[in-house]
């Protein structure tokens, strides 16, 4: 691959370029959301797209998430591929009924005769010093709902390709973007064959302990693995990428090699994505485990004031503490 085909850019820019390419390739792709047009979104992810494609394809909507999702459903029924931006994670709940009671069920309700290719972009997670309703991780609500696909990129390259793959899907896709990592840069291959949308990625090879996470947790896991390496422990890091469905084969293969698993997430731990992974690995790789599966997560409390977020959100130290515990068995 030539150097011209690889560009270093932040995750936010990579999503922007992925949206631009999808819109250029298909004039039925439209963007909808609060302040996404002239302003380019609060995180500038849609910057300059309205100027390029016009206000008929990049729509500034009222502050009404239920209306945004409901309108997108109607557009999808008429052959469009709408991409909705939810401004902040905690703002998604006014649209919860439209997503879980309608969008998730319409394909089944129509016995597969109609497709609903709606993408819902959700900037999620903490580490931005914001107030309540601006730093939440609501993935588990939607992962529990049949009919929805959930994905979350952790790198700029995945952000670029996965947003295009999500738009191309004929099923509803919720696209959880780690907003604290929007400006983290990485190499993006503008051409080539990307990894499948729902494939787990081995981000770092190791032999002693498997750690699994998605989105904003992946850089934390890689940091923990780097520290552990200097202390003589080899950690294998898996980037989940897809929250629903989960690609378990690489996870099970890794656990059968290491015998130990730590699952990490920013969301609260009870009844969570991490809980599901822990249960599935215990079920399918029980005889390979040399220690209990351990979980590292946010606490089962409402997200705290910004000055306390460092105590609430998992960091490399908490991951390493779990690694030490699993190695002690």
Question: In the sheet where 261-268 sits, what is the strand order?
Answer: 201-204, 235-239, 209-213, 261-268, 294-298
Q: Is 134 a catalytic residue?
A: yes
In whole angstroms, what is the distance from residue 68 CA to residue 303 CA?
A: 26
Q: Which of 60, 46, 167, 58 is nearest to 115 (CA)?
A: 167
Cα radius of gyration rounded to whole Å, the chain: 20
Question: In the sheet where 149-151 sits, what is the strand order?
Answer: 58-60, 29-33, 81-85, 119-124, 173-178, 149-151, 242-244
**Residue 242 parent element (H or E):** strand 242-244
Query: ∠ at Cα 141 (140, 147), nearest 5°?
Result: 100
β-bridge mates for residue 58, sequence order: 31
Block residue for tokens 């100027």: 51
Cβ neighbours for 81, distance < 8 A, ≥ 6 positions apart: 26, 28, 29, 30, 117, 118, 119, 167
Cβ neighbours for 227, distance < 8 A, ≥ 6 positions apart: 316, 320
Q: Is 192 left (phi over 0), alpha (psi -120 to 50) or beta?
A: left
Pairing of strands 209-213, 261-268: parallel
Q: Find the catalytic residue in 127, 134, 198, 214.
A: 134
Pairing of strands 209-213, 235-239: parallel
CB 76 within 8 Å of CB 116? yes
**Residue 186 parent element (H or E):** strand 185-189
Residues noted as catalytic: 134
């Amino acid at each position: 691959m030539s150097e011209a085909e690889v560009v270093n850019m932040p995750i936010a820019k990579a999503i922007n370029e992925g949206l631009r390419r999808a819109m250029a390739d298909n004039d039925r792709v439209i963007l909808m959301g609060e302040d996404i047009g002239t302003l380019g979104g609060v995180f500038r992810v849609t910057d300059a797209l309205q100027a390029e494609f016009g206000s008929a394809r990049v729509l500034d909507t009222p502050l009404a998430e239920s209306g945004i999702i409901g309108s997108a459903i109607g557009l999808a029924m008429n052959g469009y591929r709408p991409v909705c931006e939810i401004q902040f994670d905690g703002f998604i709940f006014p649209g919860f009924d439209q997503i879980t009671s309608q969008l998730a069920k319409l394909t089944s309700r129509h016995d597969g005769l109609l497709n609903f290719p709606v993408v819902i972009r959700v900037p999620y997670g903490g580490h931005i010093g914001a107030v309540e309703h601006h730093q939440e991780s609501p993935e588990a609500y939607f992962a529990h709902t049949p009919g929805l696909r959930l994905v979350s990129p952790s790198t700029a390259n995945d952000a670029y390709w996965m947003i295009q793959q999500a738009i191309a899907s004929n099923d509803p896709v919720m696209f959880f973007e780690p907003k604290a990592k929007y400006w983290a840069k990485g190499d993006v291959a503008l051409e080539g064959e990307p990894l499948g949308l729902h494939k787990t990625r081995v981000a770092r090879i190791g032999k002693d302990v498997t750690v699994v996470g998605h989105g904003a947790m992946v850089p934390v896991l890689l940091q923990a693995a780097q520290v552990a390496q200097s202390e003589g422990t080899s950690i294998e890091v898996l980037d989940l990428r897809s929250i629903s469905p989960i690609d378990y084969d690489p996870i099970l293969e890794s656990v059968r090699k290491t015998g130990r698993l730590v699952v990490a997430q920013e969301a609260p731990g009870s009844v969570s994505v991490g809980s599901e992974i822990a249960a599935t690995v215990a079920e399918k790789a029980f005889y390979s485990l040399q220690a209990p599966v351990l979980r590292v997560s946010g606490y089962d409390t409402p997200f705290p004031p910004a000055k306390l977020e460092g105590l609430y959100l998992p960091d490399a130290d908490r991951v390493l503490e779990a690694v030490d515990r699993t190695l002690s068995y």
